């Protein structure tokens, strides 16, 4: 019987190899890399492309829908 090779992925932050089955911070190699990534999202360093949202218009639409 052959032993299965563990699934290894690269940490999105530092590119270190990570064993998927044993890393508690997966897909990251550590809590530190996970927090670095979270900080980049909160600073809007990462963005998902889409149309720009007009916040004033959105707020007006939401309040009109509630009436």
CATH H-level superfamily of 1-46: Erythroid Transcription Factor GATA-1, subunit A (3.30.50.10)
Q: What band does 37 get if pLDDT is binned at 50, 70 and 90?
A: very high
The secondary structure of the chain in percent helix, strand, coil, rounded to multiples of 5, reads 35, 10, 55
Q: What mean pLDDT is predicted for residues 32-37? A: 96
The chain-wide mean pLDDT, for the chain, equals 84
Give the tens place of pLDDT for each residue, 40-62: 999 989 888 888 777 777 666 65
More confident residue, 1 or 54: 54
pTM of the model: 0.63
CA distance 45 to 31: 19
**Can you give the pLDDT at residue 63?**
59
DSSP of 43-54: TTSS----PPP-
């Amino acid at each position: 019987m052959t032993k299965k090779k563990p699934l290894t992925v690269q940490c999105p932050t530092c590119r270190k190899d990570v064993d998927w089955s044993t890393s508690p911070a997966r897909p990251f190699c550590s809590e530190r890399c996970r927090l670095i990534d979270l900080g980049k999202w909160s600073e809007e360093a990462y963005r998902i492309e889409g149309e720009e949202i007009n916040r004033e218009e959105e707020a007006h639409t939401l309040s009109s829908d509630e009436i």
